[in-house]
Amino acid sequence: MRVAPLFAVSLIILGLADAQALADGDEDKPFAEAHIVLQMADGDAESQASVLNVANNLIKHYGGPDFVDIEIVAYGPGLSLLYPDNVNEERISSLLTNEVRFVGCLNTVESIERATGKRPELIPEAVRVQTGVARLVERAQQGFVVIRP
């Protein structure tokens, strides 16, 4: 009969660990009802506009940026979304104002540099991670919903 209390304690500890991992996503959003990471792996303008539309629609749906935690992870051809002077620069700026995080993959940056001899610049607000896909996996493990628009 002692197994049940130990099992219950384990579940409580695991629950606290999951809550902490989710809280680490964005500590400034204590009222967020949803934690969402949007995947951007496409370089075409239509796909990039779509991911920005989805982020904007989610902010509206949840009633404002305080109630939804959104991160856009760009890698592969999708990294071009984070280039300075992108055609979507104004929309990205607006989403940054609404506390959407933009994450860029350094593996992609390094691959482009090897192939072209020139290191691509990213917008200064971009969070840089070594591996974009690993960031998606980590966020999923932390309780974020991963969406590929």
Q: Which domains does the chain have, with CATH numbers?
A: 3-147 (3.40.1260.10)
The SS3 assignment for 73 reads strand
What is the per-residue pLDDT across 66-123, written as a single tens digit (0 to 9) for each? 999 999 999 999 999 999 989 999 999 999 999 999 999 999 999 999 999 999 999 9
> Can you give the pLDDT at residue 14?
41
What Rg do the C-alpha atoms of the chain give, in angstroms?
18
pTM exceeds 0.95 for this model? no
Distance between alpha carbon 99 and the CA centroid of its chain, in Å?
11
